[in-house]
Amino acid sequence: MTDLIVEAELRETTGKGDARRMRRAGLLPGIIYGGGKPDLAITINANTIGKLLNEEAFYTSMLEVKVKGKRGKNTVLLKDVQWEPILDTAMHLDFMRVSSADSVTVEVPVIAINFEKCPGDVAGGLLDVIRHVLEITCRADSIPDSIEVDCANMDIGDTVHIEDLTLPEGAEVIHDVNFTVLNVSAKKIIVETETEEEGTTDDTTSDADADESASEA
């Protein structure tokens, strides 16, 4: 079952030059692969996909890509987006065919909740999120939108490790080390102090003092 449907057309030609022409025409090149079927080179309306790329659910949901002129459904996950580094716009999309029961590995954002209520915040502590995303393995139809970490009881110095989290049913984070997800640290205070140099003497003499010493000699 998919909530998002994307309309696409087959791309007859490939290559960097063709991709640039497509982007100038308001189209975004992409590819659908996997599932024991041939790869499909496609184009998608750039404005339509641009709006979807602003939605977090687009990255963690099963999608249906309807390719004009091709029968059959393409149930996919978005596996990769190539971004233009300066303008930060999408350049190319990779979609992988999946079925509901497939086990997939995806990155899911970490969301800290209730920090404003915790003793650590009241005491002036700072929330430090070490892992902003977690790599989750689960069924393709059960990908969580996010992993919530409840900070309501956290105090300064408290730490949440991966093994402290209760993940959604069927989800797993494969790990060898019980790594830190987030913690509450004390606010750093920078104290400026004025230091006085002791025992220093002024080695400079005036011209008059120098002349007087010379005459006495």
Task: Considering only CA atoms, give the Rg of the chain.
Answer: 30
Domain ranges of the chain: 4-98, 104-185
pTM: 0.74
Q: Is-contact 125 185, C-beta < 8 A?
A: yes
- For the segment(s) 104-185, the CATH number from 3.40.50.720, 1.10.3720.10, 3.40.30.10, 2.170.120.20 is 2.170.120.20
Residue 21 has pLDDT above 60, yes or no: yes
CATH 3.40.50.300 fits 4-98, yes or no: no
More confident residue, 57 or 181: 181
pLDDT of residue 217: 47
Q: Model confidence over 106-154: pLDDT tens digits?
A: 999 999 999 988 999 999 999 999 999 999 999 999 999 999 999 999 9
Residue 202 has pLDDT above 70, yes or no: no
* Least trusted range by pLDDT, from 7-21, 42-56, 85-99, 198-212: 198-212
More confident residue, 72 or 140: 140
How many angstroms separate the CA atoms of 147 and 145, rounded? 7
